[in-house]
A and B are shown apart, each in its own frame.
Chain A
């Protein structure tokens, strides 16, 4: 029997600690849409998405109301367009991005991901066309998200693509300079990208996925922080146990929402992504959890250890709560989307180098970080290479989502609004050039998986 305390606890988590389900993401395969004529391809894509996801938003809203749990986003991920569109005889995929945008708006989702290519070992002509189309595609659409996987533990790092993506980020920033380079907030560069990630901007529908699938991303940093507030002075064993219990409860709600969405939409359930996803709202921050463990400000020595414990305990608690776990699963540390991170950057305790160290032990990478507009493409590529190396060697997903804001200088504040948040421009060691290193190109070989010191 449910007790009064249980009911009050659940409702407190939702109303006071901002517990929510961050996203229901429907993955849709576009492999059956292929056509040599791009117009026919676009029509097939539009029809398939709008038919498959017709009731996605209304179903999400129904579940939200019935259970009283906010479901913040309803989204769509599609087969990487470089694969789905490869048969099209065209030199630009921008019209396809515009089609995705229209379809997303028609069904009412707030993002659509999959303007993507998987190039860790090399390019096909479709991959090339896609990468060349990214800046314009992100400038001429509102809801389309793009991602590139350019490294994996099995294949190594495609350094030609690393070089190219530095330039693509710069061009995207330039084309969206009137919106403070907003296009770059919709572009993620991955190592070891998962094909079932429900979170944007990196979501795409992997090639081994079924025709359609429902993936759900949970959240709840505020709930974890609240649980730790009662543990002043407790040791780390107790901290880890409490995080596990809290993560279990959060994930069970995600599992319920995923099963209901799957049943009502008649689409198979894929995975729950066990992530602590922050928002810029006060009380919904991952950085504040780390500070609750005893760090004066996020970035202080001890931060990486605190994040490692948090990330591991969230997984351990969440795994038992869900029948299938996947995606990115871990704590997110996006700077502009986390009130505590923003504050830590402002106060000077958190640097991009410390963030890089933190990405070794958490779920993603250097995420939503605004840098000065005069940072060169080669420096951006250097950062991408470093981050990819961390992912490849540690057999984990890492990613880079940097925003070189044209005209902005270190310390300026840039604001994107909504979930994308705001942040000060972060200093980068760009006075020392990476030019000759990045110019080499080629591939960094896959690492040895034994002798792992």
Chain B
């Protein structure tokens, strides 16, 4: 199962570290990261592979969401299929 994690919020130190730590702890492999800062706002889209992971997607989503709340950014974790079906024929 491929996942897409989007992170948006005010920039600060350690956003990528805290997100990727949760992914690593749950055996989710990162495929690519696209990240930039626009007007002081942190934007990141992370592609990941979760087929080796044991954690339920909804539990992983919750962990990331809670982490996001702690550091003041919004973290969305979605199954890649929703983007594939909408944009690929």
Shortest CB distance B16–A (Å): 16
Docked complex Cα distance between A255 and B86 (Å): 10
Interface residues of A toward B: which range? 20 to 34
Contacts of B45 in A (CB 8 A): 4, 7-8
Docked complex Cα distance between A4 and B35 (Å): 10
Mask: chain A, 242-257; 1 = CB below 8 Å from B; 0 = not: 0000000100110110
Mask: chain A, 45-60; 1 = CB below 8 Å from B; 0 = not: 0000000000000000
Contacts of A252 in B (CB 8 A): 85-86
Contacts of A65 in B (CB 8 A): 57-58, 61
Docked complex Cα distance between A218 and B85 (Å): 15
Contacts of B13 in A (CB 8 A): none
Mask: chain B, 25-52; 1 = CB below 8 Å from A; 0 = not: 0000000001000000000010000000
Closest-by-CB residue of B relative to A254 is B85
Question: Are A66's CB and B79's CB within 8 A?
Answer: yes
Contacts of B88 in A (CB 8 A): 2
In the assembled complex, B53 has its CB within 8 A of some CB on chain A:
no
Docked complex Cα distance between A429 and B1 (Å): 60
Query: Known: A62-B58, A65-B57, A66-B57. Is A249-B86 also a contact (CB below 8 A)?
Result: yes
Question: Are A11's CB and B57's CB within 8 A?
Answer: no
Contacts of A7 in B (CB 8 A): 4, 6, 45, 83
In the assembled complex, A432 has its CB within 8 A of some CB on chain B:
no
Docked complex Cα distance between A2 and B84 (Å): 7
Question: Are A255's CB and B87's CB within 8 A?
Answer: no
In the assembled complex, A6 has its CB within 8 A of some CB on chain B:
yes
Question: Are A256's CB and B81's CB within 8 A?
Answer: yes
Question: Are B83's CB and A6's CB within 8 A?
Answer: yes
Docked complex Cα distance between A256 and B78 (Å): 14
- In B53-68, the 8 Å CB interface with A consists of 57-58, 61
Tally of B interface residues using CB under 8 Å: 20
Interface residues of chain A: helix, strand, loop or mixed (majority): helix
Docked complex Cα distance between A3 and B76 (Å): 17
In the assembled complex, A132 has its CB within 8 A of some CB on chain B:
no
Docked complex Cα distance between A10 and B76 (Å): 12
Question: Are B87's CB and A6's CB within 8 A?
Answer: yes
Question: Are B58's CB and A66's CB within 8 A?
Answer: yes
- In A53-91, the 8 Å CB interface with B consists of 62, 65-69
Question: Are A11's CB and B6's CB within 8 A?
Answer: yes
Which residue, A3, A6, A65, has most C-beta atoms of chain B within 10 A? A65
Mask: chain A, 238-277; 1 = CB below 8 Å from B; 0 = not: 0000000000010011011000000000000000000000
- In A6-55, the 8 Å CB interface with B consists of 6-11
Docked complex Cα distance between A33 and B20 (Å): 54
Docked complex Cα distance between A252 and B85 (Å): 6
Docked complex Cα distance between A68 and B78 (Å): 6
Residues on B lying within 8 angstroms of A by beta carbon are: 4, 6, 34, 45, 57-58, 61, 76-88
- Can you name 19 A-B residue pairings with CB atoms under 8 Å? A2-B83, A4-B34, A4-B45, A6-B86, A6-B87, A7-B4, A7-B45, A10-B83, A65-B57, A66-B58, A66-B79, A67-B82, A68-B76, A68-B77, A68-B79, A69-B82, A252-B85, A252-B86, A256-B82
